[in-house]
Amino acid sequence: MGAVVIGMDPHKRSATIEVMTSDETIVGGGRYATDIDGYGAMLGYGRQFPERVWAVEGCRGIGRHIANRLLADGEQVVDIPPKLSARARIFATGQGRKTDATDAHSIALVGTRMSGLHPVVDDEQLTVLRILADRRRALGEDHTRIVAQLHHLLLELIPGGAKKDLSAAQAKTLLSRVRPRDAAGKTRRRVAAELIGDLERIYTRKKAANKELTELLKATGTTLMDLDGIRPSGAARLLIEVGDITRFPSKAHFASWTGTAPIDASSGDQVRHRLSRGGNRQINRVLHIMATVQLRNPGRGRTYYDRRKAEGKTSMEAMRALKRRLSDIVYRQLLADAATPAAAGPGGHSGAATDSSAAGSHPDTGTSEKSLPGPAELNATTGSTSDADHPSGRSRRPVPAPSRRRRQALSA
């Protein structure tokens, strides 16, 4: 028998598979438990097909645990994004019923029909980075939750409550001045003191987690933390989610993946773009934090934001444009890191340089804001893009508005 694709719908305690040949003939399948015995039976069943590829849905999520086990046993695994399997399921027969068997069938179809699926690799450094980044994110969530509870108690103990940005030391100082006499007030004060203790412990753990993440990021050779607004947790999340940056053929594809590329919402003579709600939301959050940090202090990011608002953009539109620019900057930085042999870190490949990596790393670099701009040539002297190869044959740069004197002359 020729090569087969084993589509898998994974869950925590079970996995449903379907074996499909290249001509989409179903030759087997079944449902197996994910414990030692069940996994062994599934692996043995799959190995009766000499040439096989395991197509596992959601290898970055629920399918990660079983994909790692398959990789450890020397199996070839490709990641099937849930969106692709959902699209295949829409056009399947069966009145749209969603079961584990139909999901496995859709996953097998995607694995058979689609080319360029992302192979899952056993990168130990990337795995360690993911564990530490997830732990750091959980500590941040705990910190936010405890601070919210503490604000609620302090508001009942102190008229007007405490300021928004509250540290454990400041909360302890405020609490030391409170001497309630009733039982409810004493209970609030005791619980608030416990929360402050929890906050101090979380702060210590966050500091240690940041230090460990920074050391690991330095070992990868990445320069993402050189960008204004990217901290260790953000840089780690970028490396984890992006993987091999060369899988994105252009900055426009990368922006579409990050959800920063605007979607064309033009109608008739009205030309406008709206905010994309798709893309990788975790990376979109990293870029949003990066933009927020740059807006707090004077710099290139703030200058670009103010210039866009002066052109008539709303605050949300200017923020969207800034995030689109920052997406290009991160893309070029990742390409530059991948092109450095010593910095071929998790999921990266050395020597993957492109012309776009030579552009500047500031928000005012000349790049298109369209969702899918056409191909552009880089001007090595200015770092700007040429529009000679754009399908429309016209420049994508916005035409500058006429001056006040020019408008007066035209109106006259």
Greatest Cα pair distance, the chain, in angstroms, is 87
Q: Which residue has the higher pLDDT, 225 or 372?
A: 225
State mean pLDDT over 7-21: 94
| Token representation of residue 121 | 């690799």
Q: Is there a contact between 248 and 254 (Cβ–Cβ < 8 Å)? A: yes
How far, in Å, CA of 380 to CA of 273, rounded?
30
Confidence of residue 378 (pLDDT cuts 50, 70, 90): very low
- Cα–Cα distance list, 242 to 56, 69, 126, 222, 345 (Å): 19, 22, 11, 13, 12
Write the pLDDT tens digit of every residue in 80-113. Answer: 988 888 888 877 665 567 788 889 999 999 999 8
| Token representation of residue 114 | 């689609």
How far, in Å, CA of 330 to CA of 404, rounded?
37
* pLDDT attached to residue 274: 73
How far, in Å, CA of 257 to CA of 404, rounded?
40
Write the pLDDT tens digit of every residue in 110-141. Answer: 999 888 788 888 778 888 999 999 999 999 99
Question: What is the DSSP pairing of strand 273-274 with strand 14-21?
Answer: unpaired
Please say if the pLDDT value at position 392 is more than 60.
Answer: no
